[in-house]
A = this chain, B = another copy of it.
Amino acid sequence: MTYKEISKEFLDKANVTIGDVIKVTKEDISYEGILLDRSEDAKDAYIVIKLDSGYNVGVNIESATIELIEKGDQPKIGFEGDTIEKDPNKQNISIISTGGTVSSIIDYKTGAVHPKFTAEDLLRANPELLDLANYDVKALYNILSENMKPEYWVKAAESIADDISSGADGIVIAHGTDTMHYTSAALSFMIKTPVPIVVTGAQRSSDRPSTDAFLNIYNSCGAALSDIAEVTVLMHNSLDDGDCALHKGTKVRKMHTSRRDTFRSIDSEPIALLRDGKVKSVNLPYVKRGENELELNTDIESKVALIKSFPGISSDIIDYHIDKGYKGLLIEGTGLGHVPDYMVDSLQRANDEGIPVVMTSQCLYGTINMNVYSTGRLLQDAGVISGVDMTPECAYVKLAWALGQSDSLDEVKKIIQTNIAGELNESSSLKYFLN
């Protein structure tokens, strides 16, 4: 049992161990459910209970009473260091935890949420996962995803490639949702994969009653065992705990600050829907398991800026980035791909100095077209490259990756406008608006 100090004392007094069905009463609220294990340093005054609904709740034991309802089975999972006993009849999934809400618990002192759970903790709290596969678990880092940096993408890609080389049949990455789509785009460009690579997260932390972490992880493991050998993002497809959507890693975006179904495919639809750990329906063609050989290309230029245009923006911001030694600029322009025409000279200067400038749209949906309006023509004359129908976020990542492949302006332009990982739609995408 990993409960320590206050919480251990509290549980010992009632002769309660992990797996027992208990009832904890606090003032006029009672929680009944199975006592779950907690992470190694659970020295505070909280215990975690799995309710009948399947949700986990953390209860402060101060001034609480506890009652043993039924002795439970001792946990069957043998945790030994970083590995769990393997069933030779099952496939192997590698779960890599990077932090984020899916791996977070509430800091009860401040009420805020910290990344804390490791991938191993996730299995410990959700033993149902073990019915699906064998797992290798690894906590690569433990950060909230707003703190992600390009060099972490590299480390994650290398770690994934190692696991695939070591025989993993599928990969699940537990990740914060804030920048999950940036990471999924980066992994899409960096790895050609023979097996599924599924990035997942949660909008409510694992120790909250309303957590979506378990269903997302469970269905991600289902996706990792499927035939869809692409880098994908799996999250809830609606507000309720029904289907999960499996999005192309390059065509997805976080679109709501708090809804569980916040991730949406942009100018596309999800590759597939999953339910109960199985692919339920497939919408798009995909790269099949084993179709690609493993290939890793993590070269990336981190001196790239994303600049959003707005009425009143100064062209100085372009010169600033040139003067600071930036190697590429991603513009989030207006409409079909515009910035104020007084910025053209500075953009021309970037081009003259060999710095690629790629245009995307703050509309998010639809395709860049710099042929329609006079401003677009001017921008093209100044060397601005169309990001076609890429989201600004995906195009930013692709530009950084393209600059890792070549420092030739022409070569970078060619990479930007060549489909590498499903990021460019060939046909009209008008129909996938706000779906």
| A404 lies within 8 A of chain B by Cβ | no
> Which residues of A292-340 have CB atoms within 8 Å of chain B's CB atoms?
302, 304-313, 316-317, 320, 324, 332-340
Q: Does A430 contact B (CB under 8 A)?
A: yes
CB distance from A189 to the nearest CB of B (A): 14
Q: Is A177 an interface residue (CB 8 A)?
A: yes
A262 within 8 A of B: yes
Given the interface contacts A338-B178, A373-B113, does A363 sit within 8 Å of B254 by beta carbon?
A: yes
Number of copies: 2
Residues of B within 8 A of A304 (CB): 312
Give residues 324-370 of A contacting B (CB, 8 Å).
324, 332-342, 361-369
Q: How far in angstroms is the closest Cβ of chain B from A357? A: 15
Residue from B254, B313, B316, B317 within 8 A of A334 (CB atoms): B254
The answer to the question of A29 belonging to the interface, with a C-beta cut-off of 8 Å to chain B, is no
Give A368 to B178 CA distance when docked, in angstroms. Answer: 13
Q: How far is the CA of A150 from the CA of B317 in the complex (A)?
A: 18
A144-B374 in contact given A257-B361, A369-B257 (Cβ < 8 Å): yes
Q: At the interface, yes or no: A13 with Cβ under 8 Å from chain B?
A: no
* Docked pose: A362 CA to B364 CA in angstroms: 11
A285 at the interface (CB under 8 A from B): no
11 pairs, A vs B, C-beta closer than 8 Å = A113-B374, A145-B335, A149-B340, A179-B310, A182-B311, A239-B430, A254-B334, A264-B434, A305-B313, A308-B308, A364-B364
Interfacial residues, chain A to chain B (CB-CB below 8 A): 101, 107, 110-114, 144-150, 153, 176-179, 182-183, 239, 254-259, 261-262, 264, 302, 304-313, 316-317, 320, 324, 332-342, 361-369, 371-377, 392-393, 396, 400, 430, 433-435
The 9 closest A-B pairs by CB, nearest first: A257-B366, A178-B335, A146-B338, A178-B334, A434-B434, A256-B365, A308-B308, A256-B366, A306-B310
